Amino acid sequence: MAKIQPIENVRSLKEFPCSQCDYIARRKHNLKYHVNIHHGSFDFKCAHCDYITKSKKSLKKHVNSRHGSAQFKCTDCDYVSTWEPYLKRHMNIRHGSTQIKCKQCDYVTKDKCNLKSHMNSRHGSSQFKCTDCDFVTTWESYLKRHMNIRHGSTQIKCKQCDYVTKDKCNLKRHVDVHHGSTQFKCTDCDYVVKCKKSLRRHMNGRHGSTQFKCTDCDYVTTWKPFLKRHMNVRHVSTQFKCALCDFVTTWERYLKKHMMVRHGSTQFKCGQCDYVTTYELNLKSHMNVHHGSTQFKCTECDYVTKSEKCLRRHEWSPRFYPV
């Protein structure tokens, strides 16, 4: 039986742990790549000294070892922190320079929590009730606002119809339901409105005297686009007919689209040169321009043609060259 020889010079599987997270690499360059990608752009600064590191884990270790006993205490309450920035943030939020005043008495504080406690203890049972509806609140200012909005003396009229209300919320709901999504645009200017009635009023006031009359019949309109559409439908002089089927249209682009979709593979070839097209109209135009008035006559007989190619074919015919 063959003896198994031990393998020598095998590289040990060394581990390279990341100092900033739980990542472990098998190769050193993989660890460097990981640190650059995940921890490269961040700087963590100690709030108690000038120590800076790119590792949050290292910063925590530094703070615990160097500044663990340091405490920053709030002078206005029992809040304590080992981080000075946290204390500053606490002071700004809870004890900032802004004075908060109770809306029902002269009580003043810098702390929202204190104000809430004051409200519950001093004004919790007070209720301000609306005399016109069932609205109830513990804030007098809210009641005043409610009275102005819901029960004010001013009548609010819908600009698009005859609806009238004292309540802005009711008006908004009415507009959303009855005049919400539709927009009516003036065809003669940039005026846009959600009310057809308002558009008519605008048209009569601003553009009522303008009339667009058809030159071919008695059709009259105050809307220029309507006149254009009328002219195209009723009095268009040009018709574009498909040369391969019965399709007819007054729009050239529709004919082109029809030709491509229905007859795209058909080719029309000029009998006098190498010109090729998929449109018979183009071929006719080509014939008139390039081969229209010219005639080619045979010098040996009375043969005449408009095609130079046909003349050559005629001249090279075997009857001119006896065997």
SS3 213: strand
Give residue 270's domain range.
212-291
Q: In this model, does residue 323 exceed pLDDT 50?
A: no
Stated pTM of the model: 0.18
SS3 51: coil
Question: Which pair of tokens denotes residue 6?
Answer: 């031990």
**CATH classification of the domain holding 61:** 3.30.160
Q: Is residue 60 part of a domain?
A: yes
For the chain, the average pLDDT equals 73
Q: In this model, does residue 24 exceed pLDDT 80?
A: yes
Beta-strand (E) ranges in 96-159?
100-101, 108-109, 128-129, 136-137, 156-157
What is the reported pLDDT for 85?
Answer: 73
Q: In this model, does residue 279 exceed pLDDT 50?
A: yes
Q: What is the pLDDT of residues 190-240, one digit of tens each?
A: 777 777 777 777 777 677 666 778 877 778 777 777 787 787 777 766 677
Q: What is the pLDDT of residues 166-194, one digit of tens each?
A: 777 777 777 777 776 667 777 777 777 77
Kindly state the average pLDDT of the residues 96-120. Answer: 74
First to last CA, the chain: 100
What percent of the chain clears pLDDT 70, i.e. is strictly above it?
Answer: 80
What is the reported pLDDT for 144?
Answer: 77
Nearest to 20 by CA among 8, 9, 32: 32
Q: Is residue 27 part of a domain?
A: yes
CA distances for 120 relative to 77, 116, 125, 154, 225, angstroms: 20, 6, 8, 36, 67
Q: In this model, does residue 8 exceed pLDDT 60?
A: no
Q: Is residue 313 part of a domain?
A: no
User: Which of 56, 71, 86 is the C-terminal boundary of a domain?
Assistant: 71
Q: What is the pLDDT of residues 38-70, one digit of tens each?
A: 766 666 777 777 777 777 777 777 877 777 666
Q: How many domains does the chain have?
A: 2
Q: Is residue 218 part of a domain?
A: yes
Kindly state the average pLDDT of the residues 283-295. Answer: 74
Angle between helices 140-150 and 168-179 (to 10 degrees): 50
Q: Is residue 149 part of a domain?
A: no
Q: In this model, does residue 74 exceed pLDDT 50?
A: yes
Q: Is residue 284 part of a domain?
A: yes
Q: Is residue 44 part of a domain?
A: yes
Q: Is residue 253 part of a domain?
A: yes
SS3 297: strand
Question: Which pair of tokens denotes residue 77?
Answer: 């309450």
